[in-house]
Chain A
């Protein structure tokens, strides 16, 4: 498995509305191999979503370079597809099939006579084969996220960027989504970068876990557990404690919730 994504010394600065500089991401470097499933974990407001948005090309970085397959990333593109947390990312005026077909037409990657068949295949892949003619409002939150994943896969991305995609779902559907995502990953071999604040979610899903603290990488750890991961085993609990410990030692005495709120209040502006 070759190296697919490479971040070199990436820095993304913001400034507060008073003009003070605030760091979103600071001198971050790491690589992701082709077909790898990596998670970036950290508390809310630590910059992990910002990092993902930089990779997607939504944010202009101040310093450093991001390469995909050796090519420098400058702007958004369908080779890195983002899945958001919000349940409003499907286009409400299109049915599921039309949503997927729209994406394929926009990137002109698929021949027009194959579009509908491929849309159907992708819906089947995420377990929504009978729902192609449904409008988004007719679906549950989990189904909407499934459809978003199907749409993302339809344009053939090299990397799937998932920004807390199951954060709006209840624990039960989240479990089903994990199951589905792993199945999709096994079948498509697509590289996944998964951002979450849920340590267990990261352990369950990924090969590698990057612990992220305000602006920088705290630790980059290979997941030692065999798949499928069972939460009741001692090995699992040990690994969980290890990850949890990283945050406990680094965040002693820092009220992150407070920091996040004051950051929100200050209204960060991209510089």
Chain B
């Protein structure tokens, strides 16, 4: 029963997204026709798609590059966030320090750290990775920490009653009990990482001609190929939709929706 309902939910969401995109395309064309804008300012939908097709190989490689660097960055950020959360729970001093650090650094946009990153790591993938990790790690810590604190005391005590402690208690009870928050954290972390990677490349490009979609946008803008800029943006949007509505929704349906422990 849950599965069918879940599948229907997925399809419905997908359908509504496709419908939305088609509507936007129609309005887009209408605005262009009425305003009589040139392709340099506002390219038509067809020329954007044409550019997308012509650049498909380059876009494909750059997308892979982006996903790879984001994947690595997110993974490192998750590991760091787990360490920070465990530390926060191992003593009151640590939890206060981490709360303070979070309050200071969480509001700082990842891209604002870019000048420092370039200073420290030079122009290249390392700096971008640093910005990605910096952007993702704070919301991750925030969510993980909240998640661990919101575990019902009774469930922890049942675990202790069964003789579980340390790693086993963490893996078998704390992890699934705080999973709604963990999922929320990874979701936010992914979005931040994706934004950070594009933003960082847009600002200073890439070293050695090896870059992701932000670098693609940068090059197309530099060469005044506006349809290419929009094509790159379209790919970014599509990947965002795909990850949100396929990966995260799938995980959600099979976990927190099934358990009815969903928080948002």
Cross-interface CB contact of A137 among B158, B176, B255, B260, cutoff 8 Å? B260
Residues of A within 8 A of B (CB): 56, 58, 76-78, 80-82, 84, 86, 88-89, 91-93, 102-103, 106-107, 135, 137, 155
Q: Which candidate, B13-21, B128-136, B160-168, B211-219, is the interface stretch facing chain A?
A: B160-168
Q: Shortest beta-carbon distance, A153 to chain B, in Å?
A: 13
Question: Given contacts A91-B177, A93-B179, is CB(A106)–CB(B164) below 8 Å?
Answer: yes
Q: Which residues of A contact B176 (CB under 8 A)?
A: 91, 93
Q: Shortest beta-carbon distance, A3 to chain B, in Å?
A: 23
Cα–Cα distance between A86 and B156 once the two chains are bound (Å): 13
- The B contact surface, by secondary structure, is helix
Residue pair A107, B258 in contact (C-beta under 8 Å): no
Q: Which residues of A contact B173 (CB under 8 A)?
A: 91
Question: Given contacts A93-B179, A102-B172, is CB(A88)–CB(B161) below 8 Å?
Answer: no
The answer to whether the Cβ of B155 comes within 8 Å of any Cβ in the partner chain is yes
Which single residue of chain A is at the shortest CB-CB distance from B173?
Answer: A91
Residue pair B162, A92 in contact (C-beta under 8 Å): no
Q: Which residues of B contact A135 (CB under 8 A)?
A: 258-260
Show 20 A/B contacts (Cβ-Cβ < 8 Å), sorted by A.
A58-B157, A58-B160, A76-B157, A77-B161, A78-B161, A78-B162, A82-B157, A82-B158, A84-B154, A88-B152, A88-B154, A89-B152, A91-B158, A92-B177, A92-B259, A93-B179, A93-B255, A103-B158, A106-B168, A155-B162
Q: Which residues of B contact A107 (CB under 8 A)?
A: 162-163
Cα–Cα distance between A76 and B160 once the two chains are bound (Å): 6
Cα–Cα distance between A6 and B252 once the two chains are bound (Å): 49
Cα–Cα distance between A106 and B165 once the two chains are bound (Å): 11
Cα–Cα distance between A107 and B159 once the two chains are bound (Å): 10
Residue pair A86, B162 in contact (C-beta under 8 Å): no
User: What number of B residues sit within 8 Å (CB to CB) of A?
Assistant: 22
Contact with A along B199-224 (1 / 0, CB 8 A): 00000000000000000000000000
Residue pair A76, B161 in contact (C-beta under 8 Å): yes
Residue pair B163, A93 in contact (C-beta under 8 Å): no
Cα–Cα distance between A78 and B163 once the two chains are bound (Å): 7
Cα–Cα distance between A229 and B255 once the two chains are bound (Å): 46
Cα–Cα distance between A173 and B235 once the two chains are bound (Å): 57
Task: Sort A-B residue pairs by CB-CB distance and give the 7 closest, nearest first.
Answer: A137-B260, A106-B162, A89-B154, A88-B152, A93-B176, A76-B160, A92-B259
Q: Which residues of B contact A106 (CB under 8 A)?
A: 159, 162-164, 168, 172
Among B168, B172, B255, max chain A CB count under 10 A is at B172
Cα–Cα distance between A186 and B243 once the two chains are bound (Å): 56
Q: Shortest beta-carbon distance, B154 to chain A, in Å?
A: 4
Residue pair B161, A56 in contact (C-beta under 8 Å): yes
Q: Which residues of B contact A84 (CB under 8 A)?
A: 154, 157
Among A56, A82, A93, A103, max chain B CB count under 10 A is at A93
Q: Which residues of A contact B177 (CB under 8 A)?
A: 91-93
Q: Shortest beta-carbon distance, A245 to chain B, in Å?
A: 35
Q: Which residues of B contact A58 (CB under 8 A)?
A: 157, 160
The answer to whether the Cβ of B261 comes within 8 Å of any Cβ in the partner chain is yes
Cα–Cα distance between A58 and B158 once the two chains are bound (Å): 10
Among B152, B161, B162, B163, max chain A CB count under 10 A is at B161
Beyond the given pairs A92-B177, A93-B177, 15 more chain A to chain B contacts, judged by CB atoms under 8 angstroms and listed by A's residue number, are A58-B157, A76-B157, A77-B161, A80-B161, A84-B154, A88-B154, A89-B152, A91-B176, A92-B259, A92-B260, A102-B172, A103-B158, A106-B162, A107-B162, A135-B260
Cα–Cα distance between A46 and B176 once the two chains are bound (Å): 35
Among B159, B168, B179, B259, max chain A CB count under 10 A is at B259
Q: Which residues of A contact B168 (CB under 8 A)?
A: 106
